[in-house]
Structure 1
């Protein structure tokens, strides 16, 4: 049985915040807000900020919309230098990654469809990275696979 979807209204900078390495994530809408249909997160990446390795999702699409700065987005076999206003849709099963290789901070929106409990992956990742050391590889891959994220070697 689905729960009714209720309004979510957030001002600039509002939402639940999380630090992942040296990047900041703000949850704008999570699966529990949307009956699992979608999740929308805002991520701020400093130059060289913490970014994911190439990976794919088997059961969800992921979308990126660059708000500020420039974000390098790998999607399939192409690399996009996404400036403010750039949008990339990553179909399920498509290898992808993103990073800020520039000299200015960047901000992007990340949407997942369906969302499930995608925020739990980000919370787990923040925990693995909290001491500033590279995470245990086995624990990282286990976390990824628990939340529909499969590492790929490109």
Structure 2
């Protein structure tokens, strides 16, 4: 059974990914696996997520503040606050903050599964500036329905 949640700004479990912070506002545990909502804060010059697909996951990205470079299929868009991107399954996508100000992106995805475990695993692999091997990254990605796109 799902329970109601109220989180104030800055609240929620979070992980550091280099100069970014991913905060788990709502996880599959909170919604019986239906959807999740994460807040992704990127400092200026952050590469973010390189192009990838999900075979069983739909995502929505919503820019809250700053500008975010969104990649959808082969199109790159500089997205301002209020911009939204819907990414169906098997659609290449990615995001970054090449700008000069901090940006905040909300990421809604369904089904939720255990998506936070991907970000927790990525945080462990990159802890203290460590550069994980391609094999380590691929192994983590494939566990959570994420596949790189060349």
The normalised TM-score by structure 2 is 0.97
Superposed, which structure 2 residues align to 1:54-65 within 5 Å? 54-65=51-62
Q: Matched residues in 1 for 2:77 and 2:112: separation?
A: 24
Q: Matched residues in 2 for 1:50 and 1:119: separation?
A: 19
Match of 1:51 among 48, 53, 57: 48
For structure 1, which segment, 64-73 or 6-15, has the greater mean C-alpha deviation from structure 2 after superposition?
A: 6-15
Match of 1:7 among 4, 8, 12: 4
Report the alpha carbon displacement of residue 65 of structure 1 after superposing the two structures with TM: 0.3
CA RMSD of the aligned region, Å? 0.8
Q: Deviations over 1:47-91 (max 9, x none)?
A: 122512110000010110000000000011211111100000000
Which protein is richer in strand relative to its size?
2
The normalised TM-score by structure 1 is 0.95
For structure 1, which segment, 102-111 or 47-56, has the greater mean C-alpha deviation from structure 2 after superposition?
A: 47-56
Contact 1:21 1:50 in 2 (8 A): no
Q: Matched residues in 2 for 1:50 and 1:87: separation?
A: 19
Structure 2 portions without partners, runs of 5+ = none
Q: Deviations over 1:21-66 (max 9, x none)?
A: 1101111000100111101000110112251211000001011000
Residue 81 (structure 1) aligned with residue 74 (structure 2): no
Match of 2:124 among 127, 131, 139: 127
Q: Matched residues in 1 for 2:144 and 2:47: separation?
A: 19
Report the alpha carbon displacement of residue 134 of structure 1 after superposing the two structures with TM: 2.0
Superposed, which structure 2 residues align to 1:3-152 within 5 Å? 4-152=1-149
